[in-house]
Amino acid sequence: MPHVELKCFPGRSEEQKQKCAEAITKAITENMGCDASSVSIAIKEIAKEDWKEKVWDTQIACDDSLYKKPGYTCD
C-alpha cells in the first residue's frame, strides 16, 4: 500500500498535479509490483518562505532514508 506525499511550491495547475500523480502511480506500479488501486498520492503546497522551516529542516536535512537527495541546500 504505497503512499506518497509530494510537497512543492504553489503555482501548479490541477491538471499538472493530476498528471504528476498519474506518472508517480505508473512508476510505483511498474517498479514496486503493486496494483494502482493500492497507491495513494497527496500533493501539498508549501509557500517558498516556509520551505526551510516546514520541509527542509524537518524532512530533508535530517532524513537518512532519502533515495534521491536534492542538489540544493537551505543554508
Active site residues: 2
**Residues in the chain, total:** 75
Close Cβ partners of 2 (under 8 Å, ≥ 6 residues apart): 28, 32, 34, 38, 39, 40
